[in-house]
Amino acid sequence: VVDIKSLYSQFGYFTYDPGFTSTASCRSDITFIDGDEGILLYRGYPIDQLAEKSSFLEVSYLLLYGELPTADQLSEFTSSITRHNMVNESLKNFFNGFHYDAHPMAMLTAVVGSLSAFYHESIDVNDPASREICAHRIIAKMPTISAAAFKHMIGEPFIYPQNTLSYTGNFLNMLFSRPNEDYEVNPIAEKALDQLLILHADHEQNASTSTVRLAGSTGTNPFAAIASGCAALWGPAHGGANEAVLNMLEEIGDVSNVPKFIDKAKDKEDPFRLMGFGHRVYKNYDPRATIIRKTCHEVLNELGMSNDPQLELAMRLEEIALQDEYFVERKLYPNVDFYSGIIYRALGIPTEFFTVLFALGRTPGWIAQWMEMSADPEQRIGRPRQIYTGAATRDYVSIDKR
């Protein structure tokens, strides 16, 4: 707490908390994390139970409405999501405007934001029914937009949604099928990806969710708020870490180089960090990483890739780091991103696209948090203060006298 005496008046007391390490910005019923114990609950349900038994759409329902759906509720929700999965045909022009090598997160951020141009006048953020339809729309359209970004990236024609497939099956179909070619969704890939989406679905007030809430607190269009979440997610300290992990594994190259890179990560003069390691909240093994690690082994086994050199490299890296005093003292453990990239790559997804998959998974969390915030009577515009450290008042000097 800092006593602020300004140049002109007494401001009173502010908390100075860079990075908001100990500032609660809201009350929330959605997600609980105990970072010391490595516990993560969505609406009270442990993440490992949801990852094992639920589906991404069921978890999306849980995040939005607070309870697991009955069979009828899930069927109605699924129909609504399926009904809204198309995007306006003119959005193709947006993609065609991007250079062939545009990063898919740049395309995703821009195109999600552009939904606000299609849905603006019709949205009343103060009306619960209007908020609900926005939530359904964004969860429904995110796979279509993400897959279009993928197809643009690899220079193939867009594939329209297929309503007979599951949410995740349809997404895989839009990624990998081609006109006039037979393609069948691989059930191993479908199950693994669905589970990864569940694990990414919410994580309380992380950087991207806080960004969605801060933008949303002004009453802005919800699609614009979600686009701001995509932008915040992209950074390598947040959702971009899954891409950075695979790039790092490639740079390390061989198990024999692991000790050298561990030393680099410990060297404070060297900007290199062990990507996929450490977390602001978890000071224990990230519970999502435990599940992903297991799934990673299963998926690679089932796909006949159990001798994957990158998996071996990742495991060796983890083993050495977890025995190293530097990592032990600082409680740095693998996070959700450490093994997810190895699964994505095994499913045939290029590295640059990994963060889009994180965004797809996080969408129900972002929109559930936005709905909760919009319905909260304590909600006010988010407006942090600062400790001013600049110049005192001084007189303007004309340019010829400077």
Part of the chain binding ligand ACO (CB under 6 A), chosen from 80-88, 167-175, 182-190, 328-336: 328-336
> Are 122 and 174 contacting, i.e. CB atoms less than 8 angstroms apart?
no
List the catalytic residue out of 136, 202, 279, 286.
Answer: 279
200 is catalytic: no
Up-side HSE of residue 32: CA atoms within 13 Å toward CB? 10
Nearer to ligand ACO, 201 or 265 (CB): 265
Part of the chain binding ligand ACO (CB under 6 A), chosen from 25-33, 88-96, 147-155, 272-280: 272-280
Nearer to ligand ACO, 151 or 238 (CB): 238
Identify residues 10-39 at the interface with ligand ACO (CB under 6 A): 19
Residues 6 or more apart in contact with residue 337 via CB below 8 angstroms: 239, 241, 242, 244, 245, 275, 276, 358
Alpha carbon distance 17, 4 (integer Å): 14
Closest approach of ligand ACO to the CB of residue 351, in Å: 15
Nearer to ligand ACO, 21 or 180 (CB): 21
Is residue 274 close enough to count as binding ligand ACO by CB under 6 A?
A: yes
> Are 92 and 159 contacting, i.e. CB atoms less than 8 angstroms apart?
no
Is residue 283 close enough to count as binding ligand ACO by CB under 6 A?
A: no
Identify residues 240-259 at the interface with ligand ACO (CB under 6 A): 241
* Distance from chain centroid for Cα 356: 8
Phi/psi class of residue 43: alpha, beta or left (left: φ > 0; alpha: ψ in -120 to 50)?
left
297 is catalytic: no
Is residue 293 close enough to count as binding ligand ACO by CB under 6 A?
A: no
Closest CA to 197 of 225, 232, 172, 162: 172
Part of the chain binding ligand ACO (CB under 6 A), chosen from 169-177, 256-264, 300-308, 335-343: 335-343
DSSP string, 1-50: -EEEE-SSSEEEEE---GGGTT------SSEEEETTTTEEEETTEEHHHH
Q: Which of 194, 337, 352, 372 binds ligand ACO (CB under 6 A)?
A: 337
> Are 284 and 36 contacting, i.e. CB atoms less than 8 angstroms apart?
yes
Is residue 265 close enough to count as binding ligand ACO by CB under 6 A?
A: yes
> Are 197 and 57 contacting, i.e. CB atoms less than 8 angstroms apart?
no
> Are 208 and 232 contacting, i.e. CB atoms less than 8 angstroms apart?
yes
Q: Write the burial class of residue 247 (CB in 10 Å: 0-12 exposed, 13-18 middle, 19+ buried).
A: middle
Part of the chain binding ligand ACO (CB under 6 A), chosen from 3-11, 23-31, 109-117, 334-342: 334-342
Outline where 99-237 has alpha helix (H). Answer: 104-118, 128-154, 167-176, 187-200, 207-216, 222-233
Nearest residue (beta carbon) to ligand ACO: 278
Identify residues 138-177 at the interface with ligand ACO (CB under 6 A): none
Nearer to ligand ACO, 296 or 336 (CB): 336
Identify residues 182-241 at the interface with ligand ACO (CB under 6 A): 237-239, 241
List the catalytic residue out of 297, 337, 395, 400.
Answer: 337
Q: Which of 42, 95, 234, 277 binds ligand ACO (CB under 6 A)?
A: 277
Closest approach of ligand ACO to the CB of residue 36, in Å: 14
Q: Which of 131, 279, 293, 362 binds ligand ACO (CB under 6 A)?
A: 279
Closest approach of ligand ACO to the CB of residue 19, in Å: 6
Q: Residues touching ligand ACO: how many (CB under 6 A)?
A: 19
CA angle, corner 383, sides to 381 and 386, nearest 5? Answer: 170
Alpha carbon distance 197, 398 (integer Å): 58
> Are 236 and 105 contacting, i.e. CB atoms less than 8 angstroms apart?
no
Closest approach of ligand ACO to the CB of residue 213, in Å: 16
Q: Residues interacting with ligand ACO, by CB under 6 A?
A: 19, 237-239, 241, 265, 273-280, 330, 332, 335-337
Q: Return the active site residues.
A: 279, 337
